Amino acid sequence: MFHCCNLKKLIRIMVFDIILIAVAAGITVFAKETEPQAERVFLPIIMYHSITENATFYDDYKVTPETVENDLKYLSNNNYSSVFVEDLINYVYYGKPLPEKPVMITLDDGFYNNVSNLLPLLEKYDMKATISIVGQYTEILAENDSHVSSYSYLTWEDIKNARSSGQIEFGNHTYNMHSNNVRKGCSKLSYETNEEYAEILTQDVGLCQNLMQINTGTAPIVFAYPYGYISEESIPILKDMGFLATLTCFEKPNYITRDPDCLFGLNRYNRPQNVSTESFMKRMLIE
């Protein structure tokens, strides 16, 4: 009878012989060749709101034009180049290069001062910015009381003219879901079915998209979550609507790869008035 110990010894000899033959032939047996690490581009993103002279030291969502200019000057002096969401998409999908030190400048809500006070500074420092508008603010509030720098919103004509400058692109910030009430922005309510939520979100965001297309000739490719509230259920809905990127309010760094999913949930650092440019930038620009 062939003893089991002898059988185990024979198996070990056979396996060792196979390894020797494989090594001699230049074949890797157990170690799978690892894929080279994907290139990751560090991308800090600033989030402004209103840019107005009446910003006070205690404002979290208003900054003065002087503060913004100090920020842009700092970025320029430290060799940062601003990019659009469109630039990120061209990098991810089509392999077009990004600057060596990219940064994104974003603004939420679509205040008139986002153009009246910011555009001259963008031109001065050769920067560009992404403004996400609330459709209802532009469609109703701006038309009723336009072009007051401290509180008015951009009109459709303002948006169209700003786009033509080449310094500004526009995003969708919902039509009428910019509220911090029971729903919390465009979050899914606990009692809603996925189908009900999809219909509500599609109708609201879609209305803003349609109005942008009708009034400016283009529809946004980036969506900014109101107040940063995110529902996982929103992601496939927004993708189906044609969005290629989303903006959050999480204050964390971003790393852009060739994976399209890296553009969904881009983090941003809110810019308050009561922090110096140097302090804000040191926190935001650390990888």
pLDDT digits (tens, 9 = 90+) for 51-84: 999 999 999 999 999 999 999 999 999 999 999 9
Give the Cα separation of 128 and 61 in Å (integer). Answer: 20
Handedness of CA 158, 162, 164, 169 (dihedral sign): negative
pLDDT tens digits, 40-59: 999 999 999 999 999 999 99
* Structure-token pair, residue 81: 């180049």
Q: What's the pLDDT tens digit per position in 225-274? A: 999 999 999 999 999 999 999 999 999 999 999 999 999 999 999 999 99
**pTM, entire model:** 0.86
Average pLDDT over residues 133-145: 95
CA distance 43 to 284: 10
pLDDT at 147: 95
What pLDDT does residue 243 have? 98
Sort 108 into a burial class: Cβ within 10 Å, 0-12 / 13-18 / 19+: buried
pLDDT value for 38: 56
Q: Where are the domains of the chain?
A: 1-34, 41-284
What is the spatial distance between Cα 58 and Cα 37, in angstroms, rounded to a whole number?
44
- In terms of C-beta distances under 8 Å and separation of at least 24 residues, what long-range contacts does 194-201 make, across chains too? 194/233, 197/231, 197/233, 197/234, 197/237, 198/233, 198/237, 201/177, 201/234, 201/237, 201/238
220's tokens = 């946004």
CATH of span 41-284: 3.20.20.370
d(CA 216, CA 76): 31
Strand 168-172 with 129-133, pairing: parallel
pLDDT at 214 over 80: yes
State how far the Cα of 241 lies from the Cα of 243, in Å rounded to an integer. 6
| pLDDT at residue 287, as a whole number | 81
The whole-number pLDDT of residue 233 equals 96
Confidence of residue 18 (pLDDT cuts 50, 70, 90): very low
Which token pair is 32? Answer: 């799978």
User: Given CA atoms 180, 152, 71, 275 in this order, what sign does their dihedral have?
Assistant: negative
Rg (CA), the chain: 26
